[in-house]
Amino acid sequence: MILERSGVINLRELETQLNEVDKRPDVAELPKLIKMYQLYQSGQREISTKLENLDAEFQVNYDYNPIHHMESRMKKIQSLIGKAQRKGYDLTVESIEKNIHDVAGIRVVTNYIDDIYKIEKMLTSQTDVTLLRRKDYLKHPKESGYRSLHIAVKVPVFQSKGPIDVPVEIQIRTVGMDMWASLEHKLRYKTNTDENLVDKYGEQLRDYSDELENIERGMQEIHRRLV
Ligand code: GTP
Ligand code: MG
């Protein structure tokens, strides 16, 4: 099951989104931005399909699904421009393509910890998928307690005039880690209104992250013995 959070944009939609930003890209960049979004979304679909196919094969061959569910999202124009401004990048498609690697994103939520690395291996060993970057926040959790495997890959998208390589960012995490990350994200978001909520719950959440890992490893072990 893939939950698609946003679709491809047209010029009118782009205009509406641009009303929300304080610095707009040059008008000549707008058609290029739309083309970039269309291309990146195709790349995202290529990867989503590969992941769905792998999961389906597992179901048939091993009577088991490594993927609990997936979510895909295209970064909103406001967020894209906000990020480019924050980081001091030019508001051009060229600069965005060069510097911002999470325009197309997929989150893969797995049942168990082992599934995370299985999925990474099965995907990146495909001949048309190239690993660009990798951050293992399972081996090295963030200060907050955040755990996930982040990889960026490129995949060719076959356009009318031939293939173009497109980057897609993939976050792979277990159901437990996903639940943890949603709550922790909410906590940080709420910080704007109430500063000491992070002080109050931050440490508790960090402990929960460790506890969750123990539980997930234990459950993994039981599951291993059942298959
Ligand atoms: P930016 O993408 O530019 O922010 O930096 P980066 O590429 O170094 O990103 P990073 O590897 O930190 O991953 C960014 C994404 O991971 C965020 O958009 C979140 O979805 C997720 N993430 C990273 N750290 C945390 C965290 O501490 N808590 C939660 N809830 N999510 C996190
Ligand atoms: Mg990122």
Cα of 207 vs centre of ligand 1, distance in Å, is 19
The structure's pTM equals 0.92
Mean pLDDT of 22-37: 89
Q: Which atom belonging to ligand 1 lies closest to the Cα atom of 100? A: 3
What is the per-residue pLDDT across 12-21, written as a single tens digit (0 to 9) for each? 778 888 888 8
DSSP code, position 19: T
**Is the per-residue pLDDT at 131 higher than 70?**
yes
Q: Whose CA is nearest to atom 26 of ligand 1?
A: 146
> Residue 5 — pLDDT band, cuts 50, 70, 90?
low
Mean pLDDT of 106-115: 97
Cα of 176 vs centre of ligand 1, distance in Å, is 17
Q: Which domains does the chain have, with CATH numbers?
A: 2-175 (3.30.460.10)
Distance CA 44, CA 74 (A): 9
Please tell me the number of the ligand nearest to residue 86's CA: 1
Distance CA 30, CA 51 (A): 32
Cα of 4 vs centre of ligand 2, distance in Å, is 19
Nearest Cα to 43, choosing from 153, 204, 194? 153
Q: Which atom belonging to ligand 1 lies closest to the Cα atom of 135? A: 11
